[in-house]
Amino acid sequence: MSLLILVRHGKSLWNVENRFTGWTDISLSNDGIKEAEIAALEILDNKINIDNAYSSIFNRAIKTGEIILNKSNHEFVKLEKDWRLNERHYGDLQGLNKDETAAKFGKEKVFQWRRSFKTKPPLLEKKDQQKQLENPLFKNIPKSRIPLGESLEETVNRVKEFCNEILFNKLEEEKNILIAAHGNSIRALIKIIKNKSEKETEKLEIQTGKPIIFKYKNKVFTKFK
């Protein structure tokens, strides 16, 4: 048997400001740091030994993963970054306040952009696309794979690549895996491992800084507690 620990990063500065973040690299807030520390205590309390750890390439997820490892006595475990665990790309919505955007375009439209499985947000404009391509943070991502905006379905597809290439193999080796990622990439992971429908995936609520733990045995995932 192995364990899979999924943690959405603690509250970021833009979570506090209620902004669309997506592929913008934003730091944790003080509350987010505390949430990560509390997540580490939960792992300690459950006497979970972490063998491998992964995060997206963004600071808020990396910092969350590092805090959890350090505060749960796993400072010797290397946190590996994989862009396929990135948050869903919110396109031209990135940086906008969610309430102000809802006032401008209507709550129903913004809810569709945020949660619909197949709907893409408004895409990045050309000038912002060029800035994105020149961003050194994305240098190891094939340019053809850097999106202008993503549906949740597209996020699921790239997360599935990570699962097939890395995650499932590690779990088969009976390794306990920590993944520090984002609301939508964790929705994608849960859809994949629990075979959730599109509608079920849209409705998943993922709390910041709260570990979601699954047992894995004989290719079946069940809740740890």
- Catalytic site residues? 9, 87
Instruction: Please answer whether residues 2 and 203 qualify as being in contact, where contact means their C-beta atoms are separated by less than 8 angstroms.
Output: no
Terminal Cα-to-Cα distance of the chain (whole angstroms)? 15
CA–CA gap between residue 61 and residue 1 (Å, rounded): 26
b/e 73-88 (16+ beta carbons within 10 angstroms → b)? ebeebebeebbbbbbb
Instruction: Please answer whether residues 165 and 83 qualify as being in contact, where contact means their C-beta atoms are separated by less than 8 angstroms.
Output: no
Which amino acid belongs to residue 90? Y
CA–CA gap between residue 161 and residue 184 (Å, rounded): 15
In 16-111, beta strands by DSSP E: 52-55, 79-81
